Amino acid sequence: MPYDEPPLARTPNPRAVAPPPEGGSPTRWVVVAALAIAAGAGLAFWWMTRAQPDQVPPGPTTATEGAIRSHRPQRQPMDLPTLDSSDTIFRDAVAVLSKHPMLTRLMATEGLVRATALAVVQIGDGKTPVVPLSVMRPPTRIAIIGLEQGRLDSATYPRWNNATGALLSVRPTDAAQLYVNVKDLFDAAYAELGHPGGNFDEAIELAVAMVVRTPQPADPPELLRRPNYFEHTDPVLRALRPVQKQVILLGPENQSRLTTWLRQLATALDLKVG
């Protein structure tokens, strides 16, 4: 599958980066989907800072009991808003949890739970969700070193540093606690997407697995310019799912940081991602 990246303007300077098109960049959804889940960790923080009795979980009584104890946090009792009314509490909570400007920008959008659910489901299917959370695109585009064919210019990798940094500003364990607390909202959004009675754990598991199983090339991959997109010259990379191709465009450092965070989230939720 090709990249949904437009070609660069033809110019004598091979390292020039073309201006962004009208639509959003699909690569952002890899990070943004995780960001939306992470952003919800603020709700857990908000709830846990209210007057609640201290609850200390009992320690394991035996080595076997400790070994099999679940990592998944217990749901904390709280009154959830309706799915239609869930945006305000997310925005307020995230403002307490993190002042990262990317999260603030994300929280200014509407339908946060529904947008997150849609993005996660599409990523799990190997697709690059183009519609949800469209405000999160970086201001620049990818570039290759060459005119019609060449290696990806690694100078374009830092355009994803801001989004990745926003994700890492939230601890995976906090994101896990939040998700458990508000899981009913995600299940409701999941049902609207054609999964009645479904468990949104399944969608998260598929999405995380899709991202963490993406190979990480040792060197910037070689791309071939096509009308309105780029294509891998390596047949192995060319055979990847569209969203995995976009993960590679994050750059090796951001890809590693994203993968580590998602694995930690999966561990905290007792999800199996391989």
- The phi, psi pair for 132, rounded to 5°, reads -65, 140
Task: List beta partners, residue 222.
Answer: 151
- Do the beta carbons of residue 202 and residue 270 sit within 8 Å? no
**Which residue would you say has higher pLDDT here, 15 or 37?**
37
Average pLDDT over residues 150-179: 89
pLDDT band for position 181 (cuts 50, 70, 90): confident
**For the chain, where are the alpha helices, taking DSSP H only?**
28-39, 41-48, 63-68, 87-97, 101-107, 112-124, 161-168, 172-192, 200-212, 235-238, 242-248, 252-268
**Which residue would you say has higher pLDDT here, 69 or 6?**
69
Does pLDDT of 215 surpass 90? Answer: yes
Task: Give the pLDDT confidence of 77-114 residue by residue, as tens digits.
Answer: 888 899 999 998 777 777 777 788 888 888 888 998 89
pLDDT band for position 44 (cuts 50, 70, 90): very low
Task: Give the pLDDT confidence of 120-132 residue by residue, as tens digits.
Answer: 999 999 998 877 7
Report the mean per-residue pLDDT for the chain: 78
Please report how many Cα atoms fall inside a 13 Å half-sphere around the Cα of residue 67, on the Cβ side: 3
pTM, 2 dp? 0.76
Which of 168, 172, 10 shows the shortest CA–CA distance to 103? Answer: 168
Distance CA 164, CA 161 (A): 5
Residue 48's CB is within 10 A of a number of other CB atoms, namely: 14
* Beta-carbon contacts of residue 157 (< 8 Å; ≥ 6 apart): 250, 251, 252, 253, 254
Task: List beta partners, residue 230.
Answer: 225
Give the pLDDT confidence score for residue 133 in this predicted structure: 60
Does pLDDT of 182 surpass 80? Answer: yes
Would you give the DSSP letter of residue 109?
A: S
Distance CA 204, CA 226 (A): 33
Q: What percent of the chain has pLDDT over 90?
A: 45
Give the pLDDT confidence score for residue 68 in this predicted structure: 62
